[in-house]
Chains A and B, each alone.
Chain A
Amino acid sequence: MSDSPIIREKAVKAPAVEPDEKATTGPALRKQVTDACKAIDNGPRVLKLYMEMCARCGTCAEQCPVYQGEPTELRNPARRSDLIRSVFKKHMTVSGKVFGPLVGGRDFDGDMQRFVDAFYECTGCRRCATFCPMGIDNSVITRKGRAIVDKLGWTPERLQKVIDISLETGNTDGANQAALKETARFLEEEIADDCGVEVRIPYDVAGAEIFFVPPSGDLLVNPEAVMGIAKVFHKLGISWTLSSRAFDGANYGLFTGDDKSMKEDNKLYIDEARRLKCKTLMMGECGHAHRIMKFMMEKAKWWGDLPFEITNVLQFTAGIIEDGAIRLDKSANPDAVTYHDPCNFGRSCGIVEEPRRIMMASCADFREMTPNRHLNWCCGGGGGLSAMDDIYEFRMNVSGKMKLKQIDETEAKFCAAPCSNCKRQLAQLMEYHKRNVTIGGVHDVVYRALVL
């Protein structure tokens, strides 16, 4: 592992900014932020449009989980986006140059901490974009804001650590190959104990049909989903494999706006898929990982044409249920259950019906949250916030507030969320507010219901 070119490159990278340069004011910092905002003039088109298209109508605030959780001025999506927009307006538009603040053109005020905090209070859920009459997706501006923050070395320490660990070890938990192998053995024993059947959890099998990439949290923290998936593959007799080097689709470069590390992190998986000669790269219960693979990497051809297809395990299992290839016993899940649409699966990947098909086929009492599917409220931990313990109170009392209400209304005892970040946020939310609701994955219910 230590000979990986990725790590070598990271090691020689100079530390972004020395702590003593992190003055909250200072002309150098001010200039860097200003220049970064001005650079939007070179594209992409979407950001250029967003700099001038906002009708100042306030619809986004009405639909934003954070603003609805507890409104403050900078939690108003359009206002937060103005942190960048006003600088762009002032320097790059005719009206801004002539009329300045009268048309909303302003210089960066130099308060970098405020800038960072504001952009790390948006969960990137894209709910605002669903309702905005101008088609403005504030999460795109948020990511730009975070990219500026990242360039100046202000990315919150916790998230930077996750990225560094992931680039170093190939997974965001920092687990090594031995840990993966041990976990696989352990899960095999668990399944044997639970079901009395020997189900394999294979890794590094070159030539397997399916290369499966879960989030590492689904192996190390909430393994029931992976156990359920293993059972499905076993039942169907499909050859599949994990990789002991690449077992975590999570990729935090999406959250910090750091395109370079996002691609670096992604490359390991493509290399591994090629090495294993799989026919299918199947992403697990992790929305943002699937989004990066399918809608960013594959679409934009980061690594050229690929000799394998990319699918998601939710689509796979929903498909075989439709085909009647497996038998599910609903009485194994008698309690009321509900489903949380992770924003990345729903709004960003369009995977909304598949998990429902799986849940309904496996559970006796499935209940919808309202609203649901692409209108669903964010768990409150999107955009990497879930991993940030320093904003725990904010996540529990502000960004997660709408979600808590939604879950309460279903009166469900189990809530499935196919996303490690959602799971962490929701589990903490339930604990903090003393709710008696278990949080798990979609394949958790399959694990219990599948008749071998």
Chain B
Amino acid sequence: MNHLILGILPYFTVIIFLVGIGYRFYIWIKAPQPGAITLFPAPSGGADSFFAIVKESLLFPGLFKGDRFLWAAAWIFHVTLALIIIGHVRVFTDFPGLWAALGINADSMSAISGGIAGVTITICALLLIVRRLAILRVREISSFSDFMIMLLIMAILATGNAMRFGEHFDLNMTRSYFSALATFSLTSSLMPANQMFTLHFFLAQILIMFIPFSKILHFGGIFFTQTIIKKA
């Protein structure tokens, strides 16, 4: 089982994710779009349109005007998620030279910031789930998968937080594991023998594989949809 999740599945995850996303983007680019359906106020094109699209995608100004509570929960959720993903770089490799040059203790820094981020995003995710259940106009458009995705994310966050706040987790273990995985030289002795890690990693892989086939794809699609309405 461990061998399956840690030794084989990751390759499938990467392939399914990349091919899936690439295929989806290809299909969208290929689909004919006769003209823009401009929604005003709209920039006149070129750099202005580009910045408007980037702004919409990063700050959600439309949502800010439309539903302030959702904006707060969703924006903090996404920004924290981005930070957490960036923070995960240290799971794969480390930059001791950089930390020394900056004069920071990377381990205690990431313990604090990672801890805060983990708690913050869990709260946001909870708020989003409660909102989906509590507000009729959201509940009546929610399908089973909308709840499942959130539950999956909650499980990933819970196992991640457990590692963060539980007994000390040795990142050197994951670093050597991932570098072996990347160089196709994985041996069973290099597989982390930590059940929490295995579970966390397994759930994350399920989510990643599901992205090209689910609404989570919106992180890429938003550029396409915004381009169509934000160009005069």
Contact = CB atoms under 8 A, between A and B. Distances in A.
Interface stretch (A23-31, A40-48, A403-411): A40-48
Contacts of A136: 225
A62 B40 contact: no
Nearest to A62: B67
Interface string A91-116: 00111000101111000000000000
A133 B34 contact: no
Contact of A79 (B62, B135, B140, B232): B140
Given A76-B141, A346-B40, A374-B41, A53 B65 contact: no
B232 A78 contact: no
A45 B32 contact: yes
Given A52-B221, A348-B38, A375 B141 contact: no
Contacts of B27: 48
Interface stretch (A7-15, A123-131, A171-179, A324-332): A123-131
B192 to A, nearest CB: 31
B229 A103 contact: no
A157 B185 CA distance: 71
Given A78-B141, A135-B225, A348-B39, A63 B66 contact: yes
Most buried by B among A76, A126, A131, A136: A131
Interface stretch (B3-11, B95-103, B142-150): B142-150
A205 interface: no
Contacts of A374: 40-41
A135 B41 contact: no
A45 B33 contact: yes
B22 to A, nearest CB: 15
A374 to B, nearest CB: 6
B37 A350 contact: no
A146 B100 CA distance: 64
Given A43-B32, A45-B224, A135-B225, A56 B62 contact: no
B79 to A, nearest CB: 14
Contacts of A134: 218, 221-222, 225
Nearest to A295: B38
**Complex A-B, nearest 10 residue pairs according to Cβ-Cβ distance, in ascending order:** A131-B66, A350-B40, A135-B225, A58-B138, A45-B33, A45-B31, A104-B143, A61-B137, A133-B63, A103-B145
A82 B141 CA distance: 9
B89 interface: no
Contact of A58 (B39, B56, B135, B218): B135
B127 to A, nearest CB: 13
Given A56-B146, A95-B213, A49 B225 contact: yes
A187 B217 CA distance: 59
B129 to A, nearest CB: 12
Nearest to B135: A58
A331 B184 CA distance: 85
Given A56-B138, A375-B65, 17 more contacts: A42-B31, A45-B32, A46-B33, A48-B28, A49-B225, A58-B70, A58-B135, A71-B137, A82-B141, A102-B143, A103-B143, A131-B67, A134-B225, A135-B222, A135-B226, A346-B40, A348-B40
Given A62-B67, A131-B66, A137-B39, A56 B225 contact: no
A350 B31 contact: no
21 contacts: A42-B31, A43-B33, A45-B228, A46-B228, A48-B28, A48-B31, A50-B225, A52-B217, A52-B221, A54-B215, A57-B67, A58-B70, A58-B137, A59-B67, A76-B141, A103-B214, A131-B63, A135-B56, A135-B229, A296-B35, A300-B35
B74 interface: yes
A192 interface: no
